[in-house]
Homo-oligomer: A and B are copies of this chain.
């Protein structure tokens, strides 16, 4: 008899992801799974996005890191409800980790939940968390070849953010090459060049996000 160990693990995650999705739907909570390299600016994107939201959209955050509560401390300092998950050594979040974090958040008083995944362009792509959107944050300082080297995570994205876009000239970043790489694996995904540092480009991203939230059930 063949024992399907690997398949079983993935089914367990997908089962819990489906349960998370049902909880989010019942609580009318819109959820974003934010994935990126270490240091691309996931936390900065959360804080910048929140600063542009209408007051009627109440945000919350789940922070995923191997260790430390540095990012959660930054979020909490802005009076945003936040839970820190320390994975120990695990290179991605999974649906059961998200499930275990939910009782620590005031779900009834939230409209938009950001899940900041562990900084990693490989492993997080394989694990459904139950989110409405998968958003990949790339950054100009990482170089324009990332979609070619890490196609899997760009293939899963519902939106691609290109952070640190104020430094395109400093890093001689080739936007056309980057865009072609993304389109090669994900032909229609929107790409939002922006800079959390200067505020450049934030409006277009937030407008698109609010539109997605309005149309979630249609």
- Residues on A close to B: CB < 8 A? 37-39, 65-68, 70-71, 89, 91, 118-123, 126, 139, 141-143, 145-146, 148-152, 164, 167, 170
Contact = CB atoms under 8 A, between A and B. Distances in A.
B118 A120 contact: no
B164 A66 contact: no
A66 B120 contact: no
A39 B163 CA distance: 14
A150 B39 CA distance: 11
B67 A151 contact: yes
Given A37-B37, A68-B145, A167-B170, 8 more contacts: A37-B142, A38-B142, A39-B142, A39-B146, A67-B149, A67-B151, A91-B122, A139-B141
